[in-house]
Every structure is written in C-alpha cells, then in structure tokens.
Amino acid sequence: MPPSVRIAIVGGGLAGLATANALKAFGISAEIFETAPALGEIGAAVNCSPQAAKALGAIGLADKIAAVGHRSPGIYTRNMQTGEFLEFNDRFKMAARYGAPYYSFHRADLLDTLASGLDRGAIHLGHRLTAVEEGSERIGLAFGNGVRVEAEYVIGADGVRSVLRHALYGDDHPAYTGQMVWRALLNTADVPPEVLEPKGHTQWVGPGCHFLAYQIRAGKLINVVTQQDTDKWVEEGWSTRGDPEEMRASFPNPEPRLAKLLSLVTECSKWGLFTRPLTQNWGRGRIELIGDAAHAMLPNAGQGACQAFEDAYILARWLDACSDPAEAFANFRRIRIPRVHGVQRLSLANARFKHLRDAAAQKQAIAAGTGSVHGNSEWVWGYDPVAEWNKEPAVPSAYAA
C-alpha cells in the first residue's frame, strides 16, 4: 500500500464504493480505507429511486444493479387496525414517467455489486481512522492499526459517526427524535401470500407508527422495517438485538394480515432515530464529506442511500471538470447542499402522515394530496443528476431554506 496517495476515500460502505466507481468512470483513481475487516454493511435493505438509479447507471452499473435489484409494483397502504385500503403508490408508472427503475436491494447484494468492478488492491480493510492532520499540501490520516497515509485530497464517506466530520467540526450533538425503528428479515416462503396481497409491498399506518414489509433478493426475502413514536430512550445504531415479543407488543390490535406477519418474526433488531442539524459543514479545503457523514437524514423519504449515490456521481463530474480538486469540492457543495437540505426537510415532514392518529385524518390528508409518503416527492424523483450535475436544482418552497 502506498504511504502517499492522491485521493483517499475514508469509508467502504455504499457511499464510499459508489464514489470510487464514479471516479473510476471518469478515469480518476482513489484508495479506499475501511474500518471493517471485510466489506459488509449492517442492515437488511436499501431503496434506490429513479434519479439515483440514473446516477448509478451513468457510471456503468445499470446492468449490474438490475441483476440484484427487486422491482416492486408499488406501496399498498392500509390502516393498521382495520386493514382498510388507503392508497397505492405505483412504482411502475413512476419508472416509466422518470425514465429509470425504482429498486429495492438487499444491502449486501448492492455492496458486492459496487465492489465487483473495483481494484481490490485499492481497498484497504481493517483501517479504522483515529486522527486527521490538515496540511497546506496534504492530509495526514492515522489509523488504529498503526498505518499512516498522506493524501492530497480526502473524501469522507465514513457514515453517521464520521471520524473525519468530528475531526473537522467536533460533536454536532445529535438529538433523539422520540422515534424508534424495528427491523427483521423473513423468508418469503414462510409468509402466506395473502399477507402482502395484492402487491407484495404493503405499508400499514396507525396511531403514532407505521410498518413496511416488502420483497428483496429476487423475492426470496421479505424486509420488515417499522417506525414508531416512543417515550422510551432507544440507542442509536443498527445492531441492537431486539425482543420479538416486545416488537409485537408495540403494535396493539393489528389487523389480521399484519398480526400474522408479526407472529412470524423470530429475530429482530432495533435502534433509535436521531437528527443532526442541517449544516453547511460538508468539508473544507482538501477534505470533502459525502453521504451520511455530510447529511445524515431520517428514513421517511427513502433517500439516505439515494442522496449518497447522487453525491458520488456529481462529485466525480466536478473532479473531472476542474483542474483543482479543492475548487471541485467547493462547486460540489454549492450545487448539492440546497437540494440535500430540501430532502432532509422532506424526510422530517413525511412522518406526519405516517403517524396521524386516526383513519379519518389519514383519508383527509390523502384527499388533500398531502397524505402519501411520496406524494409530494416528485421534485426528488424527477431530478436528473446526469443532465443537471452542474446546476443548482429547484427545491419547493415548503422544503427550501
């Protein structure tokens, strides 16, 4: 491994690997430094909406992601207690309208896909960043295994607990939202077909909570993810083991389909949802933060990974266009920050419908055109990062600064 590299990417998760692919597509090499001893990401599923699929397709991954992505017909929303139909969000129509598919992936499958086209010799595992030294010409990176690397430029893709972010800005004091998430994976063969009829992708909404179940991995698995208001403290993170009985008790009086699904859960995890301030602090000089390291967001719009994929493509375009990478970083921030802040605000706002306290209020919201989780998200999906990489995207006034 060279002691000196031109571009170092800190973090080998979805954001870091997507960025390495994007740089490669424009003839730019980079070294990746990942904490884990093997490539892998905690978590079961990740969604990729059309604009993010366009970004991945533009760096040569269209066929690969199509091979491992599951295309859901759309989200069929029911009342949690009565089972009454509330709304259907047609993802096939969405794909036709925006010119790209909407995929759901098993995270491990997508991560493997992103890694498959990269030089494994440039991916350095077991490198936990411990210290950062900013210089006028180079950035010093010290790792827990004793290795020290100097890079001309550094891209921080090291997630919500970013060491690079902390080195630059200190603690940003994440605030607990009073909401928590449950997650589980089920074998599709174990779930009666009628549970997820008619579309195989169902959302239940109820008082202070919602519940999603949908197929991934070519329909072989069902990803279960929930979100609920709580007066209990729940730690941040994706790996805290949960109690299936406690999970079931969190959804009282479920309609029969949901009750059956809950009864099948034998293992689950849980974590608390925390928000971080919307900030301009995405890096400086020779360091650029991307993905969760720059703009961690709540999951209510399904855009966490999508915005990282947009980051990857647009950052690579700017690095290709500018002779000075520091200038490219500054232009990237100028273009990306207004849009991503809008998406972060949308993610906060989307929880309102999901957690309305009664069915009448839910129906009223749908009739008013504000009920759907994604009904006010067309500006997100309709964006074309390939054609508009150097233009500041429009953000609706409701989500603008």
- CA distances to 100, 257, 399 from 43, rounded to whole Å, are 25, 25, 28
For residue 30, which phi and psi values (nearest 5 degrees)?
A: -150, 155
Contacts of 246 (CB under 8 A, 6+ apart): none
For residue 248, which phi and psi values (nearest 5 degrees)?
A: -60, -40
User: Any idea of the CA torsion for 194, 197, 198, 200, to the nearest 10 degrees?
Assistant: -130
What DSSP line would sit under 65-110, residue for residue? HHHH-B---EEEEEETTT--EEEEEEHHHHHHHHTS--EEEEHHHH
Q: How far apart are CA 355 and CA 104, in angstroms?
A: 23
Give the residue among 64, 112, 140, 55 at the shortest CA–CA distance from 315.
55
Q: Catalytic residues, which ones?
A: 214
Q: How far apart are CA 254 and CA 251, in angstroms?
A: 6
- CA distances to 18, 93, 241, 356, 384 from 54, rounded to whole Å, are 13, 16, 35, 34, 7
- CA distances to 129, 156, 235 from 161, rounded to whole Å, are 12, 11, 13
